[in-house]
Amino acid sequence: MKLKYLALMILSSVVSGCGTRQGSSDDSSASGFKVSGDLVTIEESSPVAERISLDVVKPEKMGSGFTATASVSPRPDSYAEVGVPFGGRVTRSLVRLGDRVHKGQVLYEMSSADYMEAVREYVENSNKANVAASNLRRKKALHESGIVSEKELEEAVSEASDADAALELSRGVLSIFGTNPSSVRVGQPLRVISPISGTVVRNDLVIGQILSDDDEAPLAVADLSNVWVRANVRENMVSSIEKGEEAGIEASGHPTLKGRICYIGEMLDDKTRTVPVVVECPNPDRILKPGMFVSARFPKVLDDALTVPSTAVFQGNGSKFVYVRQTGLTFRKVPVEVQSLDDGRMLVTSGLEGGENIIADGGIYLSQ
């Protein structure tokens, strides 16, 4: 009896298992389509066939432009890192982070042996030049009276010329420190000035710290009233923009700012297949911050733009794709690169050539 009961149990389990596998096959059939690699075939009797709508991709004139990712940076002529050409010790800081400064304003002071030596040489050479010039005037007067020979006069001229050359060299050395030679005094500290007007955007000064000419500049000044927005424009879109054209800069949570294209790159990045484009943008309210990621919209009319509904584009493994009709109700997943537009459509920048028949709506049912 026990053996008979065990046999019935095994038979029941086998029948139950067969029923389960049959149910799984029916579920696949019930989906109404079959998938083979990148191909999807919809059965004509399937409800899915009634839920999809097709559309032909046609080149069209598009006036809403296109958008490219971009980042904000200071204008090169409006940003300065204020360091020192020679070593020394910081003795005084005259500005704080965020202060507005003007060109030529003293930012900090240093005690520098190199600077003191440069001042000493300048003062010494200035005195020598004055003495040599005075001696030359005296020798000229005596030469005119016949008291001084031609040779003595030539020697005086040579001494004055050498003294002037040494003084000019000392003046050039002081200019490296940004110091006005007419105002230098022996023993005074080195006063580091700002080369531009703007705002102190970095201040790492510590009183007493020793700086060398190899150290990173401890202080930076930037004028951010105008900034550069560097966009990466795809190679097939570059021909549609021109230098001097207007571009809209969109930062999250802020109204669109208007700038103008000031540079279009001459070289293509072979990795990203993009060309650098620089937009100069007024920034009166300091909305745009260096390092910020923004969007640059170029409102150029495109004559042969390919657009598809956003409902036609799906995210695959590592790339987006659309369903392109092959024959009947068989469709192929074709990878595409797209950019979002404002009207519920997407601009196709790569993957389609025009004339393709795609699933414009309802493709979502093929993923279920």
> Tokens for 52?
């999809």
How far apart, in Å, are the Cα atoms of 286 and each of 124, 257, 279? 49, 11, 16
Q: Please state the rounded mean pLDDT for residues 229-254.
A: 89
The model's pTM is 0.57
| Options 3.40.50.2000, 3.40.50.300, 3.30.70.560, 2.40.30.170; CATH of 66-75+223-300 | 2.40.30.170
Other residues' Cβ atoms within 10 Å of the Cβ of residue 203: 19
User: What is the average pLDDT score of the chain?
Assistant: 85
Fold of 31-64+305-367: 2.40.420
Higher pLDDT, residue 149 or 278: 278
pLDDT in tens, 86-121: 788 999 999 999 999 999 899 999 888 888 888 888
Q: Please state the rounded mean pLDDT for residues 119-145.
A: 89
pLDDT in the model for residue 176: 73
> Tokens for 150?
């031609």
- Cβ-proximal residues to 16 (8 Å cutoff; 6+ apart), any chain: none
Residues carrying CATH 2.40.30.170, the chain: 66-75+223-300
3-state helix, strand and coil shares in percent for the chain, rounded to the nearest 5: 30, 35, 35
pLDDT in the model for residue 174: 80
Residues carrying CATH 2.40.420.20, the chain: 31-64+305-367
Q: Does position 288 have pLDDT exceeding 80, yes or no?
A: yes
Fold of 113-188: Helix Hairpins (1.10.287)
Phi and psi (nearest 5°) for 243? -60, 135
Q: Does position 17 have pLDDT exceeding 80, yes or no?
A: no
Q: Does position 74 have pLDDT exceeding 90, yes or no?
A: yes
Residue 30: DSSP 8-state: H
pLDDT in tens, 192-206: 889 999 999 999 999
Name the residue type at position 199: T
pLDDT in tens, 25-68: 334 345 788 999 999 999 988 899 989 999 999 988 776 667 88
Q: Does position 231 have pLDDT exceeding 50, yes or no?
A: yes
Helix axis angle, 150-176 relative to 113-144, nearest 10°? 160
Q: Which of 291, 338, 288 is nearest to 312 (CA)?
A: 338
pLDDT in the model for residue 368: 63
**Percentage of the chain exceeding pLDDT 70:** 89
Contact predicate 217/110, CB 8 Å:
no
How far apart, in Å, are the Cα atoms of 210 and each of 87, 93, 174, 215? 7, 13, 20, 10
Q: How far is the C-alpha of 236 from the C-alpha of 348, rounded, in Å?
A: 11
How far apart, in Å, are the Cα atoms of 175 and each of 82, 191, 241? 15, 12, 44
**Percentage of the chain exceeding pLDDT 90:** 49
pLDDT in tens, 314-354: 998 888 999 999 999 999 999 999 887 767 888 898 899 99
The residues with which 358 forms a beta bridge, in sequence order, are 55, 324
The residues with which 41 forms a beta bridge, in sequence order, are 34, 330
The residues with which 336 forms a beta bridge, in sequence order, are 320
